[in-house]
């Protein structure tokens, strides 16, 4: 990195998730270990004319548990999810912002799409009234991707670095990586960081259907997301949010914080190849994984577990597998690889944060959840994907991959904390 000052150590001291199989980290984690699928028929709108009629929706989410009715009505679902997961993460960290100067605490929370439901509804208002004067004055503040980060900062009085990242499915990983760098170089002591998404709406499903990107296994939704399986036919849309509290090590120690893991490295690259398909052989993914491992001062053989991007699409799974083989060589067959998306679908801009939480939990618990729906081996996907049954394995080092449309690649590396 360009910064030449003292690089500070960064640890994870809090986590929060809102997912299709659990609205807390513990419920989410237990659902993963149980092999629970969050997929089911879409209930948010009439799917009669849609090729895909199912998704991984949230179950039982009530925004009023996290905010008053007035605020809930003035923020898009993607911001509701962010506020909810941030609240869980802050509580989990034990931070008291009356004692931690707000100027030293920042927020970076990304969204791949932003307020898509808000855009959908306001567009309908415009069409139905045939004029612009019925558009809500809150339309723009509800829509813009950065508003989730802004709302979190306002809730807690956090005045440090504050912005959003947007890089499609790599969004949250870029947010977490940026937060990591800011703490390393001394621009903040604590960062609330992650991603959020609420794209299960008519335009979201219709748009991805038009690209032929979604599974159409409408007769068996729970088996629709099948990463690395030969019979995969596209990804399943998910929604939700994930947040991490990243903290400078000495700051965490000074307040007696519980430390889950240490963040060790990041790798950001671009394919410069195609708007949706990865570069042949996962060339950009190869470089992002290598950079993250090098940034942490480790070797490929030090990595115990890879939380794969694993979308259940033909191009991604084939090329990610090839990239892992290139980076890890003969060791690739020994490292455990799984896809959280097999159970919760693809959370788009939130995926990297939720999957980072999974990587950290795997380090803490020394357990690796299964990739469900592994039924038909694919000769092009021949690694150990932890098929169908979770395993117990010591996890000292874990990496999480996310790759986005536009050729964006991000790899995060976490490791067991050692004082």
- Are residue 63 and residue 23 in the same domain, yes or no? yes
Domain edge (last residue) among 254, 276, 300: 254
Domain of 78, in residue numbers: 11-254
Clarify whether residues 162 and 193 are in a common domain. yes
Task: Output the CA angle 394-189-179, nearest 5 degrees.
Answer: 65
Determine whether 56 is an active site residue. Answer: no
> Out of 174, 251, 309, 408, which one is annotated catalytic?
309
Is the same domain home to 61 and 116? yes
Give dist(CA 297, CA 94) in Å, integer. 30
Report the domain count for the chain.
Answer: 2
Estimate to the nearest angstrom the gap between the alpha carbon of 176 and the chain centroid: 10
Query: Residue 283, SS3?
Result: helix
If asked whether residues 229 and 308 sit together in one domain, one would say no
Residues 246 and 271 reside in one and the same domain: no
Task: Verify whether residue 201 is a known catalytic residue.
Answer: no
CA distance 297 to 282: 23
Whether 309 is catalytic: yes
Residue 129 forms part of a structural domain: yes
End residue of a domain, out of 254, 273, 294:
254
> Considering the domain boundaries, does residue 106 fall inside one?
yes
Confidence at residue 5, expressed as pLDDT on a 0 to 100 scale? 67
Indicate if 217 and 356 belong to the same structural domain: no
My answer on whether 44 and 176 are in the same domain is yes
Query: How far apart, in whole angstroms, are the C-alpha atoms of residue 214 and residue 290?
Result: 30
**Is 370 within a domain?**
yes
Residues 195 and 327 grouped into a single domain: no
One domain, residues 238 and 294: no
Cβ count near 258 (within 10 Å): 12
Burial label, 320 (beta-carbon count in 10 A; 0-12, 13-18, 19+)? buried
Q: What is the pLDDT of residue 131?
A: 82
Same domain, 78 and 215: yes
Residues of the chain by 3-state class (helix, strand, coil), percent to 5: 40, 20, 40
DSSP 132: G
Q: With respect to residue 166, please indicate whether it lies within any of the assigned structural domains.
A: yes
Residue 6: inside a domain: no
Considering the domain architecture, whether residues 246 and 286 belong to the same structural domain is answered as no
398 assigned to some structural domain:
yes
Does 197 map to a domain? yes
From the list 346, 369, 381, 408, the catalytic residue is: 346
Averaged pLDDT in 10-residue chunks for the chain of 419 residues: 70 98 98 98 98 98 97 98 98 92 95 96 86 91 97 97 98 98 97 98 97 98 98 98 98 97 98 94 97 98 98 98 98 98 98 98 98 97 98 98 97 96
In a domain? residue 281: yes
Which of 240, 238, 259, 237 has the alpha carbon at shortest distance from 248? 259
SS3 category, 139: helix
The CATH number given to whatever domain includes residue 402 is 3.40.47.10
DSSP state of 366: T
| Boundary of a domain, candidates 204, 224, 254 | 254
Q: Are residues 301 and 403 in the same domain?
A: yes
């Amino acid at each position: 990195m360009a910064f030449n000052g003292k690089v500070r150590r960064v640890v994870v001291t809090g986590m929060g998730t809102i997912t299709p199989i659990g609205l807390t980290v513990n419920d989410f984690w237990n659902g993963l270990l149980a092999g629970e699928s969050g997929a089911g028929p879409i209930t948010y709108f009439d799917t009669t004319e849609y090729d895909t009629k199912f998704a991984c929706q949230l179950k039982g989410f009530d925004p009023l548990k996290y905010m008053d009715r007035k605020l809930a009505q003035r923020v898009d679902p993607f911001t509701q999810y962010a506020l909810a997961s941030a609240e869980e993460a802050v509580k989990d960290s034990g931070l008291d912002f009356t004692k931690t100067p707000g100027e030293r605490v920042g927020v970076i929370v990304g969204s791949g799409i932003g307020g898509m439901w808000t855009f959908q509804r306001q567009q309908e208002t415009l069409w139905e009234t045939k004029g612009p004067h019925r558009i809500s004055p809150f339309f723009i503040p509800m829509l813009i991707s950065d508003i989730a980060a802004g709302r979190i900062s306002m809730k807690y009085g956090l005045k440090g670095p504050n912005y959003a990242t947007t890089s499609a499915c790599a969004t949250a990983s870029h947010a977490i990586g940026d937060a990591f760098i800011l703490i390393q170089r001394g621009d903040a002591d604590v960062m609330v960081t992650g991603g959020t998404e609420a794209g299960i709406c008519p335009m979201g499903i219709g748009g991805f259907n038009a690209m032929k990107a979604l599974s159409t296994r409408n007769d068996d939704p729970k088996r629709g997301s099948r990463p690395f399986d030969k019979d995969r036919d596209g990804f399943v849309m998910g929604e939700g949010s994930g947040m991490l509290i990243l903290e400078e090590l000495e700051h965490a120690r000074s307040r007696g914080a519980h430390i889950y893991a240490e963040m060790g490295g990041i790798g950001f690259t671009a394919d410069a190849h195609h708007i949706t398909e990865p570069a042949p052989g996962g060339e950009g993914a190869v470089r992002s994984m290598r950079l993250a491992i090098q940034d942490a001062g480790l070797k490929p053989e030090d990595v115990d577990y890879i939380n794969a991007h694993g979308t259940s699409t033909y191009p991604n799974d084939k090329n990610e597998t090839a990239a892992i083989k290139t980076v890890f060589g003969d060791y690739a067959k020994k490292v455990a690889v799984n896809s959280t998306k097999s159970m919760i679908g693809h959370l788009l801009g939130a995926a990297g944060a939720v999957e980072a939480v999974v990587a950290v939990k795997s380090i803490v618990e020394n357990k690796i959840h299964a990739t469900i729906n592994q039924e038909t081996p694919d000769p092009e996907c021949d690694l150990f994907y932890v098929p169908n049954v979770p395993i117990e394995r010591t996890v000292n080092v874990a990496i999480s991959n996310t790759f986005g449309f536009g050729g964006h690649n991000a790899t995060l590396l976490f490791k067991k904390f050692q004082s």
